[in-house]
Each structure stands twice: as C-alpha cells, then as structure tokens.
Amino acid sequence: MSEQFFNELAIPEPDYHLGVGSGTHGAQTARMLESIEQVLLKDRPDWVIVFSDTNSTLAGALAAAKLHIPLAHVEAGLRSFNRAMPEEINRVVTDHLSSRLFCPTETARRQAKDEGITRGVEVVGDVMYDVLLQVQPKIDAHAQALLPNLMVKPHGYILVTVHRAANTDDPEAMRKIAHALNRLEMPVIFPVHPRTRSCLKNYGIAWKEHVRCIEPVGYLDMLALERAAYRILIRLRRSAERSISAECAMCDAA
C-alpha cells in the first residue's frame, strides 16, 4: 500500500526502494539492514533520520550506528512499557543509538530522561498531528464516497482494527475477539490486515453478517472511517468479552 500513501500525502517517490517484503522480524530486519548499509556506503550522508518504531526504523538505526553516521530519531521517547511488543524494542534501541531525539511530547522527553538519555533531546511536537491538519479538508469527501459503498451511515457503525501479534498469533485470543464482535448489534467495519486475514483463515473463525471484513484502506479513507464511526475499538485485549463495552465507552469517535 506504500504507493497509495505516497499519492495521498503528496510525498515524492523514494530514490531507493529496497524491495523487502514481509517475513519474521529477524529475517525482515536483516534484509533491510543489509540493503540500507549499501545505500549509506554509496551516498555517505551526514546524518541518518529515522521515524517511528517499525523494523525499518531499527534497521536504519543499526546501519547508521555500525557505520558511525550520526542518527536522529523522530517520534523519540514514546513507550508502551511492554517489551513483548516488537515496536517497543525498536523504540528503545533506536533512542539509545541516536544523537538527536525529536520527541512529540513532554512525556516522551521525560521517558527518555528516565532511561538516562538527556543530551540532544528536544520536544518538537507530533508530526502525525501535523499531517492530520494538512489532510483534514479532504476527509469528508472521502467519507461521502466510502460509506455508501459499505452500506453504513455516519455514526451508524463500529470501526475495529486487530493486527498486533499478541492477538493475531494467539488462536484463543482471536476467537474471543470474534465472539465479542459477533455479539454486537451494530454493523462492524473491520479493515483486515493481510497477516490478520491469513490467521483468521487458519483459525477457522466465522463472522456474523453484521461484521464486514474489508480490504485494508488508505490513510485518508481510514481517517474518514474514524471520523464517521459511532465507536472505535482500537485494541482488544484477551478479555475481549468483558472489556468490549468499556473499550467502546472510552473510544467515542470525536
């Protein structure tokens, strides 16, 4: 879906496309590390800037550190305090390798300080919020085009995503989530990540008619779905049946 993001956000095409697809965390990170290193050896940049907390973030950070190229991390200092999440490992390692940390909030700065990182740290604001402000005028038009195709009305459906490995890799967790969603009485729009779809197929999970599993959507379409939703379920824990009402109550769509 990267091409769609480039088009929607008017981002220039990258000079290099590494062509690294999905795989295990170790295999994917290794392939990216090898490819990024070759680019850095060729171009010899003054700095490497990495964003967020993905495997590509970690690969870029490791490649820069090994080649002694100064590293800057955008969205630094964020923590879930759950080391079982691959993203948390990526955040922590990248922050400790970075010479400059650009934190979105004061809380993020304090969290970096709690880990002994105090030099080169600045609070610069949330780049994702900046992007949201930039594209906000386009959201309503996307909703008007998208919702009729899904046969739902504004504030007449629940939006859910489930793609964390802690859920998708656990058949029992996914069955509990499915059971909870199947009990709802309102239409559920569920953009299904390809990895999640494969897991659902392997687990033999069946959905009731009101749960509409759709293909992944682009950034603007997702924002449109979020704005028009009655409730948003952003993360379902293992105790899905017990927590689903509380999750809905806490995640009212703005």
pLDDT of residue 227: 95
2-125 and 137-250 share one fold: yes
CA angle at 90 for the pair 122 and 171, rounded to the nearest 5°? 135
Mean of pLDDT values over 188-199: 89
Active-site residues, by number, are 163
Query: How far apart are alpha carbons 158 and 216 in whole angstroms?
Result: 16
Neighbouring C-beta atoms of residue 195, cutoff 10 Å:
13
Higher pLDDT, 7 or 38: 38
CA angle at 104 for the pair 77 and 135, rounded to the nearest 5°? 140
Per-residue pLDDT of 205-225, as tens digits, reads 999 999 999 999 999 999 999
CATH 3.40.50.2000 fits domain 2-125: yes
Per-residue pLDDT of 88-142, as tens digits, reads 999 999 999 999 999 999 999 999 999 999 999 999 999 999 999 999 999 999 9
Options 3.30.930.10, 3.40.47.10, 3.40.50.2000, 3.30.420.60; which CATH number does 137-250 get?
A: 3.40.50.2000
Mean pLDDT, the chain, rounded, equals 89
User: What are the extents of the domains in the chain?
Assistant: 2-125, 137-250
Per-residue pLDDT of 222-246, as tens digits, reads 999 999 999 998 654 444 334 333 3
Local structure of residue 14 (DSSP, 8 states):
P
Neighbouring C-beta atoms of residue 170, cutoff 10 Å:
16
